[in-house]
Amino acid sequence: MYIAMGQGPSTRGGRVAVALQPLDAVGGRIGEPLLVDRDRLPAAVAQAGARRPVWVWAGTRVWYPDLLAAGVDVDRCRDIGLTRALLANAPSCAPSPYLASIRAAALTADGTEPPRTLLPPPPPPNQHSLFDEPHEATGPLLDDVVEEFTQQLSTIAGATDPGRLNLLVAAESAGALIASEMEHWGLPWRRDVHEDLLERTLGPRPAEGVRPAKLEYLAGELRRTLGSPALNPDSPQEVLRALHRAGVEVKTTRSWELEQQQHPAIRPLLAYKKLSRLLTANGWNWLDAWIRDGRFRPEYVVGGSVSGRWASRGGGALQIPRQVRDAVRPDAGHVFVVADAAQLEPRVLAALGQDSALAAAARGRDLYQGIADQGFGGDRSQAKLAMLGAMYGATSGESGRLMPQLTRAYPRAIGVVEAAARAGESGDGVTSHLGRGCPPASEEWRARQRTTTAEEQRRADGAARARGRFTRNFVVQATAAEWALCWLAEIRRRLAESAIPEPRGTIAFFLHDEVVLHVPEDQGAEATTILADAARAATRLMFGEIPIEFSISTVTVTSYADAK
């Protein structure tokens, strides 16, 4: 059963009602909508939740945070906005006016204003006309939500493989629920531990605009060794000029290039860069901005990259540096259970290619060592280099030399990425296992491929190879992102159904192929079982019964720093 949620008509007193409309399997309305005031919405949703509906809404961010704040969560949803983005690039869908509309809206590379979509962004809170009483904004109109949902259902039903596309949409929408819940519950973060780390590493917190003591000391040492008393070490241009004057011929101030030099200034410069990164990325100002009530609550962006991987807005949520991980500690009486899907992408490649030999290499052991034992004389480093080269397009140099051997050993798996690379080089699109499509080649790219001069052709060939590297990896990375979404959704469902007491265990953190659960300390073993069972279920959902193991390594810790 579906229930659509959207803005209803204004009620007496100028308040805007929220409309809840039951829908059938094809989006048809069942009866009249229920109209409720916004402050009574959580109770209405909780009451309807007994029927376990799929909530249909314009965007999870429009509605779910307020429900969570009121203590109400939902089992399932259909996020119209995320689904629209998926369908806009899904080549398996038959042409339709709806698809033409959303694909035109997505084409903004030329800077033109896109056509209006069916669902406008929600109005700002308390938006009202001059002299009117403010009223609560409730997001897009119910009629618009129902109309677009119906068109999306019809579009998916007419796709080449509607089952896979439906699973992708369900997984993406589940990801939106999980992202909102992660933001609501937050990642436990000990401010006192973090501040102690900063003081030990940088010195006491300085006044605004003043460098910490250890950075200032390194700045002075750098000025002395370079003979530049007025040097600003935070300016790459000034540092580069000072290095050149001192006879250090480097093209950039990147650490890997500096490490090749022998000048006495290199040691303090590298140390300064390292501490400066800590201060900028996770210093006191970061703590003030992002840690509230012992929690880190960034904004996660589901499907934030073209491959479906998540991104984040602010706080660097997907890049928690090793230096500060010890501040990530569970609440009293709780533990973190950290699970990592080991070597996820090459295992996905084995599934995509239905490659029995590669599946055998992965069975019950380290996949790279399995590859090495099968054909690289036991040299794990060579096997890993060859496989990463195949997936990421590094097919020259040592990786290129190893590629023929890898292709002979695993022709079906390597054939998948090679075909994807050729498609990309010719301007064609590729898709993930469930049907996420990569963005099409731009008109500018296609125009470059029609050039005639030798120099233009050289640049065009380079652009074609670059697109081939992108599509080569897209099919693997996007499918791995789908598997991870299915894994997350299965973890969430199992946690809700488990015997873990209230407050129930939560998904506290997620990064591509890693999940962190926050659970009562006496429930760590059950959480570990949930993580492994969910991984097996995700594999069955995605690929059916296949002889490929998606290995999960799990550790229970009281500090995130101890997870790896």
| pLDDT tens-digit series, residues 98-125 | 999 998 887 643 333 333 334 433 333 3
In the block, residue with structure tokens 């099968």: 374
Per-residue pLDDT tens for 450-478? 887 888 888 888 889 999 999 999 999 99
Are residues 329 and 442 located together in one domain of the fold? no
pLDDT of residue 243: 94
Which of 420, 449, 480 lies at the terminal end of a domain, its last residue?
Answer: 480
CB 90 within 8 A of CB 100: no
Report the range out of 243-247, 315-319, 399-403, 545-549 with the highest average pLDDT.
Answer: 243-247
Per-residue pLDDT tens for 288-323? 999 999 999 999 999 999 999 999 987 887 888 899
Are residues 231 and 110 located together in one domain of the fold? no
Which of 135, 169, 185 lies at the terminal end of a domain, its last residue?
Answer: 185
Are residues 252 and 202 located together in one domain of the fold? yes
CA 138 to chain centre: 27
Q: Calculate what percentage of the chain has a pLDDT beyond 70.
A: 92
Backbone angles phi, psi at 59, to 5 degrees: -165, 140
**In which band, very low, low, confident or very high, does the pLDDT at 12 lie, cut at 50, 70 and 90?**
low
Q: Rg of the chain's alpha carbons, rounded to an integer?
A: 27
Per-residue pLDDT tens for 243-297? 999 999 999 999 999 999 999 999 999 999 999 999 999 999 999 999 999 999 9
Q: Are strands 34-36 and 187-188 parallel, antiparallel or unpaired?
A: unpaired
Residue 178 lies in a domain: yes
Tell me the β-bridge partners of 334: 520
pTM: 0.90
Are residues 71 and 160 located together in one domain of the fold? yes
Which of 153, 185, 217 lies at the terminal end of a domain, its last residue?
Answer: 185
User: Average pLDDT of 8-37?
Assistant: 87
Domain that holds residue 219: 191-287
pLDDT of residue 518: 96
Integer Cα distance of 118 and 143 in angstroms = 10
Q: Dihedral, CA atoms, 412, 417, 420, 426, nearest 10 degrees? A: -110
Are residues 365 and 335 located together in one domain of the fold? no
Among 50-59, 272-281, 361-370, 377-386, the least confident range:
361-370
Integer Cα distance of 407 and 425 in angstroms = 20
